[in-house]
Structure 1
Amino acid sequence: MDNATTALTAEVEIRELIDDKIVAIYNRDEHAILNRYAGNVITFDLAPPLQNNGGLKERLQKWFSGYTGHINQEVANVEVAASGNIAYSHCLMRTWGTSVQGEEQDMWYRVTTCYKNVGGRWLVVHEHLSEPIDMENGKALFNQKP
């Protein structure tokens, strides 16, 4: 397979991974989500601390416990690049649902993800989420849309 075909195949597989993760989050399927992350993944989430080295299962369970019902997601402006066994994607992601306090949550934020192909499977090895903030008051901006 030539480099262009390999890169295109990787892009298709990573886009499927992103879509599968959205379905797994909607279904609260921890196993399906965690199965797509490397054991040594480093993440930069919206919530503290600044950097996470492991502990993904516990953070995922805590996040799920903050919502009642399904957690909905969609992506926009997805870009994927791959070369060899390394790839990255960036996109805008929307997450919405009802909090356990009964409040409707709905926000767009930025996601950059790095992948490594291990044994023929793409795994997330690094993920960075960031939300836009009001630079004057430091509060999250929930009204931003692509």
Structure 2
Amino acid sequence: MPSQREADEARIRQQIDKIVEGLRGKDLEGLKQLYTTGVVSFDVEPPLQHVGVDAKLKNWANVFAVFETVAYEIRELTLTVGEDVAFGHAFGRLSGTLNDGRATNGMWVRVTYCFEKIGGTWLIAHDQVSVPLDVRSGKGMVDLQP
């Protein structure tokens, strides 16, 4: 029988799978169920932070407005799970077909998730997405692979 920590980790991994499914299905309502109402997101798009689930969903709506079809992939997800908080990190890649019909392989980003267990459900309370920076040029390095 799995320990409570193992069971919680499995539930968190299911939540991450739901993010992937929600993005592929362009399902804002489904995605909304995965975040706390006060989620703070440090996303790749300005401004420096997006506060609240509506702000987070607006970022996803912007993505859905550009993509006809969305693909999303997570690699190397590592989780640390406590009693009612957990954090994890992974590499993520958003790709697909743009509205003009062009296919894009997207870019790999670094993703950090912070979860809070609320009413028995693990929800994302904070996430951060970033790309490495080439300090000399000041440009993001978007062609790296995990």
TM-score (norm 2): 0.90
- 2:104 alignment partner AA: E
| Structure 1 stretches lacking a partner, 5+ long | none
| Number of residue pairs the alignment of both structures matches | 143
Q: Given that residues 44 and 51 in structure 1 are in contact (C-alpha distance below 8 angstroms), is that contact kept between their aligned partners in structure 2?
A: yes
Residue 38 of structure 1, CA deviation: 0.4
Aligned to 1:13: 11
Q: Secondary structure at the match of 2:134?
A: coil
Percent same amino acid among aligned pairs?
28
Q: Secondary structure at the match of 1:145?
A: coil
* 2:89 matches 1:90: yes
Q: Aligned partners of 1:13 and 1:76: how far apart in 2?
A: 17
Q: Aligned partners of 1:142 and 1:59: how far apart in 2?
A: 19
Residue 125 of structure 1, CA deviation: 0.4
Aligned to 1:112: 112
Q: Secondary structure at the match of 2:111?
A: strand
Aligned to 1:24: 22
Q: Aligned partners of 1:99 and 1:138: how far apart in 2?
A: 27
Q: Aligned partners of 2:38 and 2:103: how far apart in 1?
A: 34
Aligned to 1:138: 138
Residue 138 of structure 1, CA deviation: 2.0
Aligned to 1:124: 124
Aligned-residue Cα RMSD (Å) equals 1.7
Per-residue Cα deviation, 1:117-141 (whole angstroms, up to 9, x for no partner): 1111111000011112322222222
Aligned to 1:99: 98
Residue 8 of structure 1, CA deviation: 0.7
Aligned to 1:33: 31
- 2:64 alignment partner AA: F
Residue 106 of structure 1, CA deviation: 1.4
Residue 5 of structure 1, CA deviation: 1.1
Structure 1 segments of 4 or more deviating over 6 A?
Answer: none
Q: Aligned partners of 1:97 and 1:142: how far apart in 2?
A: 16
Q: Secondary structure at the match of 1:98?
A: strand
Aligned to 1:65: 65
Residue 107 of structure 1, CA deviation: 0.5
Q: Given that residues 92 and 108 in structure 1 are in contact (C-alpha distance below 8 angstroms), is that contact kept between their aligned partners in structure 2?
A: yes
| Structure 2 stretches lacking a partner, 5+ long | none
Per-residue Cα deviation, 1:64-85 (whole angstroms, up to 9, x for no partner): 11212x2111111110111111
Per-residue Cα deviation, 1:16-47 (whole angstroms, up to 9, x for no partner): 11111101100001111111100000000001
